[in-house]
Amino acid sequence: MATNHIIAGQVFVLPDNIDTDQIIPAEYLNLVPTIPEEYEKLGSYALAGLPEGFPRFIRHGANKTEFPILVAGRNFGCGSSREHAPIALAAAGVRALIAESYARIFFRNVVATGVFYPLESAERLRDVFQTGDQAEVNISAGQIRHVPSGRCFSLKPLGAVAPVVEAGGLFAYARKSGMIR
């Protein structure tokens, strides 16, 4: 892991069972993330499928979010195996996602792309944090700090996933480690 790697900023809080249709609605799947303009546009639609009543994740007319840290409940990324979902969140500016648990395919897609840190907490952080709270995620220490209260919460270690995410995904890791050219 990166030494003293800290991600700081505002938190956006999500409930249990956020599915890939809520992360990136199907009507935006025609955007090709390898084309820079379309990658940016994809980010502008991240979490556009959330039900009415949620705060806006992306301000009207913006491409990036003011929330680099997501805190979510259980089973984040459930639903279809949409590869666009983690890419849309990263394109929007997400740098760390802390959930109680992930849908297996979503977690694999995050690791495969290496677009942000998929961290887990044993505690129900969505009951502690509110959208807009300031937080600091210390990747190397494996903790998140709720800045307003100063409370720190432990995160589960990434283990063997860490070097893959640090490298920028599976292919970058394979190249870096000499598995492929």
For the chain, how many residues are written? 181
65 three-class SS:
coil
Asked whether the beta carbons of 100 and 124 are under 8 A apart, the reply is yes
Backbone angles phi, psi at 64, to 5 degrees: -120, 155
Structural domain for 86, as ranges = 6-176
In this predicted structure, what is the pLDDT of residue 142?
95
Counting Cα atoms < 13 Å in the Cβ hemisphere of 122 gives 6
Domain assignment present for residue 125? The answer is yes
Q: In the prediction, which pLDDT does 80 show?
A: 84
- 23 falls within a domain: yes
Q: Is residue 153 one of the residues assigned to a domain?
A: yes
Question: Residues 162-173: what's their mean pLDDT?
Answer: 93
Give residue 155's pLDDT.
Answer: 97
- Specify the pLDDT at position 181: 83
Q: Residue 118 maps to which CATH number?
A: 3.20.19.10
Residue 172 tokens, joined:
């970058």
Q: Identify whether 38 is part of a domain.
A: yes
Q: For the residues of 92-124, what is the DSSP string, one character each?
A: HT--EEEES-B-HHHHHHHHHHT-SEEEE-SS-
Any domain includes 181? no
- Distance (Å, whole) CA 58 – CA 170: 29
Dump pLDDT digits (tens) for 109-151. Answer: 999 999 999 999 999 999 999 999 999 999 999 999 999 999 9
pLDDT at 117: 95
The pLDDT tens digits of the residues spanning 59-98 come to 988 889 999 999 999 999 999 878 899 999 999 999 999 9
Domain count, the chain: 1
Tell whether 51 is covered by a domain: yes
pLDDT at 44: 95
pLDDT at 51 over 90: yes
pLDDT, residue 2, reads 47
The percentage of residues in the chain with a pLDDT greater than 90, rounded to a whole number, is 90
